[in-house]
Structure 1
Amino acid sequence: MERKPMTRTEWVYEQLKEAILSGKIAPGERLVVDQLARELGTSPIPVRETLRRLEAEGWVESKPFVGARVSHVKLEELEELFTIRLALEPILARTSVKRVTQEAIEELERLVNEMDESIEKNNPNEYSRLNYEFHRVLYDFSPWKELHRIVTTVWEKSARSRWVFVQTPQAMMESQKEHREMIKAIIERDEDKMERWMRTQKERAFKTYISTLKQTSNEELAKSLRI
């Protein structure tokens, strides 16, 4: 089925949401309609519509006399979401193993190779995008559709964790080792190995992200107290 072209508002939404998820627009940063419209080369109308949608989704918050800002990352909420993901994603990956096609294996290998290139080019945002695609391709083969729906929902809610690669570039190298082990598990049709490596990756990545977030929060608090 041919995909319908995006409207101007949909395009602005995609641009601003990606900027928030990647950390390009930082938590707490003001979102000024006229400024954003100039930067995106559009009128203020689709920007206003986009900000209302992002606010409804929880990515943006608006206050009287202050305006719109990117919502701050809430540590307790992320810890809850990560705990759910750690419990469910290894199972979802496990159920995908025996259904992944040879064509999909080649696609996963291509994505890993492109991630290598993004590391060489020091492009963590591109790495993050490719990493997201790697997991999407894998999970889409699971026959457990309700589990897939739940994971996708929680995944979206914790999407700002994608910028962990911007904050900790060494995580990219560790992640690549794990991706290659996952591909081996698929080729061998080894469900146990896939579940084990997916859990290893999630435990490492989530621990790194939470640690980085806590450190950043402490630094911001220290600055506010002029310590």
Structure 2
Amino acid sequence: MADLKSQTIYRALRERILSNDIEPGARLVLREIATQYESSDIPAREALRMLERDGLVETEPYRGARVTTLTAREVEETYFIRSHLESIATGLAAERLSEAALGELEVLMERMQEAVDAQDGPRFSDLNREFHETIVAACGNEMLRDLTMDIWSRHSGFQRVFRLVPKRLATSQAEHEGIMSALRARDAERASKLALWHKRSVGDTVGQLVDGA
């Protein structure tokens, strides 16, 4: 029961953080969270640990937990690494992607377009992650996959961009179309270049969001 409750609290707080309902830098008080979600301290504490693992919350000794504040330097460094890792992974995937995985990507493209049409940032954000994870999983290099997914997991806060900058949805979807075209053609060089440009483009938008905060 505690595990189920901690997951419920985790998902609720995660959505509130990503939608900026709880703003960067806000303090998260354990007892207040437990009271709000009608739980004991144990599942509330576990939920905070999961959020910290996602990079959405940071805990300081004797000061408790706060929502992570993104810095311009962190955005720049993270997207520099991500753009190159995902560029390599996407190029490899173009050569190794199975027909089944390609079919999964086609379905995800349709669902992302539906989210764009509905201006559903949270839905697009989740599908966007699944889209890129499917590509990276198909690269055939376990170390590259693990490194890329580790960075994704530790910097979930960047997903706020699809909630806070609605026009980014259509831009990202157009960039996805280019990547998909290269994957369908098994064009590794073009897929790699387009993935690099895509991540740099997203990084620029996130950077502007941080600068304007």
Aligning the two structures, in what range does the TM-score lie when normalised by the shorter sequence? Answer: 0.7 to 0.9
After the TM superposition, which residues 1-227 of structure 1 pair with which residues of structure 2 at under 5 Å, given as runs? 7-52=4-49, 54-55=51-52, 59-62=57-60, 64=62, 67-216=64-213
- Measure how far apart 1:189 and its partner are: 0.7
CA 155–47 in structure 1, closer or farther in 2 if over 3 Å, else same:
same
Whether contact under 8 Å (1:37, 1:44) holds in the other structure is: yes
1:3-34 deviation digits (Å, cap 9, x = unpaired):
xxx54334433443454345443211222334
- Measure how far apart 1:47 and its partner are: 0.3
What is residue 222 of structure 1 aligned with on the other side?
Answer: none
Higher normalized contact order (CA 8 Å, seq sep 6+, divided by chain length): 2
Secondary structure at the aligned position of 1:26 is classed as coil
Structure 2 unmatched runs, 5+: none
1:32-66 deviation digits (Å, cap 9, x = unpaired):
334433443433321023325545775223464x6
- Measure how far apart 1:83 and its partner are: 1.0
1:171-208 deviation digits (Å, cap 9, x = unpaired):
11111111122222111111011111111111111011
Structure 1 unmatched runs, 5+: 1-5, 217-227
Whether contact under 8 Å (2:18, 2:163) holds in the other structure is: no
CA 159–49 in structure 1, closer or farther in 2 if over 3 Å, else same:
closer
What is residue 221 of structure 1 aligned with on the other side?
Answer: none
- Report the structure number with the largest CA radius of gyration: 1
Q: How many angstroms apart in 2 are the aligned matches of 1:185 and 1:39?
A: 48
Aligned AA for 1:110? Answer: V
Whether contact under 8 Å (2:94, 2:191) holds in the other structure is: yes
Secondary structure at the aligned position of 1:98 is classed as helix
1:52-95 deviation digits (Å, cap 9, x = unpaired):
5545775223464x643212213222221111112221011111
Identity %: 30
TM-score by length of 2: 0.86
Aligned AA for 1:75? Answer: A
Q: How many residues align?
A: 210
1:134-192 deviation digits (Å, cap 9, x = unpaired):
00011101111111111122222222111111222111111111112222211111101
